[in-house]
Structure 1
Amino acid sequence: MQSTGPTRAVAWLAAAAPDPDACRREWQRSGAGVTLLPAGRLWDVLLVPGSLGRPALQVMERLPRGGPVLWDPGDDSLGFLVPAGTAAHWVGTGVRGAGAGSWVAVPHPERRGPGLRWLLAPDGSGRLTDPVVLELALHEAAGRLGGPVEHP
């Protein structure tokens, strides 16, 4: 029997960890439901200010399902999971990249409540955000907003 839904998503995310079993245990033990995972193995993260990331996500919603997207309300940023290696080559005003050598706080796929959470949770398929589509969506969103958006 194949695992589906959250079980597949947990397995997929945990596979990025040096010790996937320890990752799953940390999610179970942690009251916050968040653990650190290394970027650059299965995916990178592009961090976009919420003022630009939310409109870009709206643009992308017109397309077939994209990859997982994190939201950190603490600094109001969106984290788009993109293919590994993308962060090293990304050039964009106000966009920060977390790639090889970076660790990213990642919530359990079913995490609800305050703090870091998924706007689009992983489904376990390995689907990531296409960087070309993200770039075009960011340009369209910036154009709608009247130009580049500065990040404090």
Structure 2
Amino acid sequence: MLDTGYGTGSRPTTARHRPEPNGGAEPAETPYDLVTVPARQGLEAVDILRLRHSVGPVLHDGTGDTLGFLVPPGTADGWDLPGSVCTPTYRRGGPLADPPITGAGWLVSPKDAHTGTTEPARLRAALGEAARTIAAAEGRDRNRPRTLP
């Protein structure tokens, strides 16, 4: 699972960035939320979003088990899609070039994304369609008659 560094709660467990005491401020935090899902469902959803709408940056964890979709800040407050988790995430300012989570890489990098974040309602619909597609494919595999060699 992608580790956002903020534990399992819905809010970050670390202190928020504050300007340096000398009056010089470091870059501000950039907020976004991160929806993590199993990789198979996430890959299907990326394809659906690319074909029909637009997809924002997408992370993959180092083991390839999960994908993380960057969504607008505040999405976590109302996210309740079973099989997924939405976590508020913060990073220090500047362009989002390097993956903001240690050990993660880009499946869809910010420069290749169609938009800065994925629209939550479209992501929810794509994840639902992806889950139904996977379930249908698994059902076909179980019901397919076996042939003898």
Match of 1:132 in 2: 121
Gaps of 5+ in 2: 1-15, 19-24, 137-149
User: The residue matched to 1:143 in structure 2 has which SS?
Assistant: helix
Alpha-carbon distance in structure 2 between the residues aligned to 1:118 and 1:50: 13
- CA distance in structure 2 between the partners assigned to 1:82 and 1:103 by the alignment: 12
Partner of 1:56: 45
CA RMSD across the alignment: 3.3
> What TM-score comes out, normalization by structure 2 length?
0.59
Mapped to 1, the partners of 2:122 and 2:60 lie a distance apart of 19
After the TM superposition, list the runs of 4 or more consecutive aligned residues in structure 1 that deviate by more than 4 angstroms.
none
Partner deviation per Cα, 1:122-148 (whole Å, 9 max, x = no partner): 13997210001101101111111117x
Output the amino acid matched with 1:122: P
- Selected match of 2:87 from 95, 98, 101: 98
CA distance in 2, matches of 1:144, 1:51: 11
Which residue is 1:18 aligned to?
A: 17
SS at match of 1:135: helix
Question: What is the identity, as a one-letter code, of the residue corresponding to 1:70?
Answer: L
Taking structure 1 as the reference length, what is the TM-score of the superposition? 0.58
Q: Which residue of 92, 100, 110 corresponds with 1:122?
A: 110
**Identical aligned residues as a percent:** 32
Residues 1:44 and 2:44 are matched in the alignment: no
* Paired residues of 1:109 and 1:118 also in contact (CA < 8 A): no
In terms of mean alpha carbon deviation, does 65-74 or 136-145 score higher? 65-74
Partner residue, 1:109: 97
SS in 1 for 2:80: coil
Aligned mates of 2:109, 2:116 — CA distance in 1:
11
User: How many equivalent pairs are there?
Assistant: 108
